[in-house]
Amino acid sequence: MDMIHELAPVTHNLGHVVDDWAAAEVWLQVLVARRLSPATLDTYQREIRRLHWYCRTQAAQTPARWNYQDVLAYGEFLKLRASEHVCPAGLRPDDPRWTPFRGPLAESSLSDAHKILRGLFNFWHQAGYIPRNPYSGWGQANPLHKARPSHRAVPGQLLDVVMTKMDLRPKRTAIDHLIYYRNRFLILLLLGTGLRAHEALACNMTDVGQHTDPLLGDVYWGLQLREEKGGGSGNLAYLDELVIDAFHIYREAFGLPADPPPNEDNGLILSPLTDRSAGGKSATGRRRRTQWRTVRTRQTAWNIVKAEFTGAALALRDEGETAAAALLERVSTHWLRHTRATELVLSGHDMRVVAEMMRHKDIRTTMRYTNLEFFDLARQLRASRPIR
């Protein structure tokens, strides 16, 4: 006799999930299947970690049971109280003292958090996992006014100030010297190439190499990109003499040969700390064997840039240069990308060349670094207006 099994009614489309965090993982897997870039995935995963920590430690109910008041309470926590729970340096996620916060959240970070959670709850609601969406009816928040990219560029004379302050800063320990050469290279790399931080951090030392022009025979230094915005890879970023010189000096400071051998497995950006998993009883011994950790997180790159530019800003404030100091305090990794693009545009380079170097898919993005669209429109309108 045939056995007839009565199936339990399926209430949602997520499949078997044991809790809300497993349901969130399904959402992330769907996004990955849609070719979400690794950098964007990291951002989404970070927001889920923040939400999980909040629900676990702040006596909130699980997200599937949230209503408008829960969303408001979470937003208020992120804005006003997250800074009270900054994670001590060096803690791992399995440490009970660990938190997902590295400092107060900027307005843009708060907006991103709500945008990502709105996407999560929309997905859950459409899949039938939750009966109500606590973000429904909110609409899209009024977008923050974004400055034109050219307004987020650092003037050349202020860049010189930052680099000079770094050069003159006392360096009393071996780690002080390593930090200086590493930070100097990273800043010059971002300024010289216009790379996004995650594009630089995804590279390894061996991605730097020489390439011969088949037409003229000239040799150029380039960086082979492993990750790009939108999930691409394989493009070359041109490295000028200033960047390559900084690269060689940085490597030698870390005890490495100026040019990486083919079998080297170091990431492009190194930590001054050694890799304990590589073995060795002491940090000194690991340094001698050049067993360094690799920096891969955008947050660390952001911290490096903020530390150097804020340090220069403090010195300028002491010298009475308050306006210049205020500008340097606002600089982040992406400002360096905008600085490079603005410099190229204002130097008169062909807009298509600039767009290619910055890896802009739409040339209109590049044109935002100028007022060319305005002037093109103004000329057309003036020419078409009848003379009275």
CATH number for the region 20-127 comes to 1.10.150
Q: Would you give the distance in Å from CA 239 to the centre of its chain?
A: 21
CA distance 377 to 367: 13
Q: Name the CATH architecture for the domain at 156-379.
A: Orthogonal Bundle (1.10)
CA distances from 248 to 69, 182, 211, 377 (A): 55, 11, 17, 47
Is the dihedral angle over the CA atoms 196, 333, 248, 173 positive or is it negative? negative
Q: Where are the domains of the chain?
A: 20-127, 156-379
Higher pLDDT among residues 149 and 69, named by residue: 69
| Beta carbons of 358 and 194 less than 8 angstroms apart | yes
213 pLDDT more than 50: yes
| Beta carbons of 138 and 118 less than 8 angstroms apart | yes
189 pLDDT more than 60: yes
Three-class secondary structure of residue 86 per DSSP: strand
Q: Would you give the distance in Å from CA 387 to the centre of its chain?
A: 52
354 pLDDT more than 80: no
Rounded to an integer, the average pLDDT of 336-356 is 75
- Work out the mean pLDDT of the chain and round it to a whole number: 82
Q: Which residues have a Cβ under 8 Å from the Cβ of 287 and sit 6 or more positions away?
A: 174, 255, 274
Which amino acid belongs to residue 128? Answer: G
If pLDDT is split at 50, 70 and 90, which confidence band does 370 have? Answer: low
pTM of the model: 0.61
CA distances from 281 to 73, 174, 274, 285, 286 (A): 48, 19, 11, 7, 8
If pLDDT is split at 50, 70 and 90, which confidence band does 177 have? Answer: very high
Is the dihedral angle over the CA atoms 91, 96, 97, 99 positive or is it negative? positive
**Lowest-pLDDT choice from 7-16, 199-208, 357-366:** 357-366
Residue 151, pLDDT score: 59
CA distance 305 to 269: 13
CA distance 265 to 278: 12
If pLDDT is split at 50, 70 and 90, which confidence band does 24 have? Answer: very high
- Supply the DSSP symbol for 81: I
Backbone φ, ψ for residue 210 (5° rounding): -95, 145
**Lowest-pLDDT choice from 3-17, 299-313, 345-359:** 3-17
Backbone φ, ψ for residue 215 (5° rounding): -85, -50
Would you list the DSSP string of 224-247? E-S--TTS----EEEE-HHHHHHH
Residue 310, pLDDT score: 93
If pLDDT is split at 50, 70 and 90, which confidence band does 7 have? Answer: very low
Q: Which residues have a Cβ under 8 Å from the Cβ of 187 and sit 6 or more positions away?
A: 162, 163, 304, 305, 308, 336
CA distance 213 to 222: 12
Which amino acid belongs to residue 44? Answer: Y
CA distance 12 to 108: 33
The 3 state secondary structure assigned to 103-149 is: CCCCHHHHHHHHHHHHHHHHHHHHCCCCCCCCCCCCCCCCCCCCCCH
